[in-house]
Amino acid sequence: MCEDLSDPLSLADFVAVPHGAVPDPAKKVRTPAPGPLCFNHLTPIKDFVKKLKNYILRWTSNPDPEITSYDHFTDEHRHHAKVVSGTLYRHKTLQLFYTTYDMQEDQDRIYQRRYPDVMVLSDDEEHPYLYGRVLDFFHVNVRNDGPNSFLPPNDTAMLQMAWVRWFKLNRPPGPSGFCSLRYPSLSFYEYHDPDAFGFIHPDEIVRAVHLIPAFKLGRTDKYLRTPSKGRPEAEKDDWRAFHVNMYVVRDFYIPCMWRAHLFWLVLSDLQTVTCS
């Protein structure tokens, strides 16, 4: 993701206006143009600025043993996080490099419209990954003048991020995975859940992922009211569930096997392992 300044967006575009409120004509806030970034509903942008500032604090602050999750940041912390000129810059694609099973380098191209689903590492011992659907890629220039910031005073830093809609792992009656011959099952979080949307750094993305809709279960609009930025404009609802395709390509088969067969072997001899 390069520092492209050709598609700027005002942070004010992401501030949810209460239903029935009359805009202040003195405030010159542009209306988002029709297209992939058309905010016709407030759900996906609720707490957008709050989550953005939490993300900024995470990536521009020194480690604090009292802060172990985004929920631990307070309004006082967020007061020190600033977006320069109140502007975000949008990107259309992310080029992601990864190591193949035979130690070669390959790449995924992640598009919001065609190939938007990704996975990141999870600390859940039952399943090694979290899954999300990319809604947009941004970069922002930020400042952090808080006491725990590692940025020099008045200095700025460029942060890249992916704005995602998260899936939750469905817990079936029996196990899933290779041993049980059952794909892991996912569903979107409902729109009012605080974990329904969030930010991740591109470096946290392990791979693009192939999700198969559970066609038999049909579709529903309970996960997200319409219309919304949380899905393509032509879609009015979502599939009730998805299956994680563990066999889509050979290089995806290996990450799916990694946790089950190698993770505990690595943990047993940490002194000889170097993480990169």
Which are the contacts of 65, defined by CB distance < 8 A and separation ≥ 6? Answer: none
Cβ count within 10 A of residue 171: 11
pLDDT attached to residue 200: 93
In a domain, 275, yes or no: no
Q: Which structural domain range is residue 208 located in?
A: 8-270
119, 30 Cβ separation under 8 angstroms: no
Amino acid, single-letter form, for residue 264: W
pLDDT attached to residue 183: 82
Among 2-16, 18-32, 109-123, name the one with the lowest average pLDDT: 18-32
Quick one: average pLDDT of 46-60?
Answer: 91
**Model confidence pTM above 0.85:** no
pLDDT attached to residue 84: 92
Q: What is the DSSP string of 202-252?
A: GGGEEEE--EEE-GGG-EESSSS-SS-TTS-TT--SEES-EEE-TTSSHHH
- Using alpha carbons, select from 75, 76, 73 the residue that is nearest to residue 64: 73
Among 27-41, 46-60, 114-128, 151-165, name the one with the lowest average pLDDT: 27-41
Q: State the pLDDT confidence band at 264, using cuts at 50, 70 and 90.
A: very low
In a domain, 3, yes or no: no
Q: Does residue 227 have a cis peptide bond before it, meaning omega lies within 30 degrees of 0?
A: yes
Q: State the pLDDT confidence band at 212, using cuts at 50, 70 and 90.
A: very high
pLDDT attached to residue 268: 35
In a domain, 2, yes or no: no
In a domain, 63, yes or no: yes
In a domain, 143, yes or no: yes
pLDDT attached to residue 39: 42
Burial 23-49 (b: 16+ CB within 10 A, else e): eeeeeeeeebeeeebebebbbbbbebb
**Rounded percentage of the chain residues whose pLDDT exceeds 90:** 32
**For the chain, what is the mean pLDDT?**
76
Partners of 259 in the β-ladder: none
Residue 136 CA to residue 1 CA, distance in Å, equals 12
pLDDT digits (tens, 9 = 90+) for 164-185: 999 999 877 555 555 556 788 9
In a domain, 1, yes or no: no
Count of structural domains, the chain:
1
pLDDT attached to residue 255: 57
Residue 40, pLDDT > 60, answer: no
Distance of CA 240 to the CA centre of its chain: 20
Residue 260, pLDDT > 80, answer: no
In a domain, 197, yes or no: yes
In a domain, 130, yes or no: yes
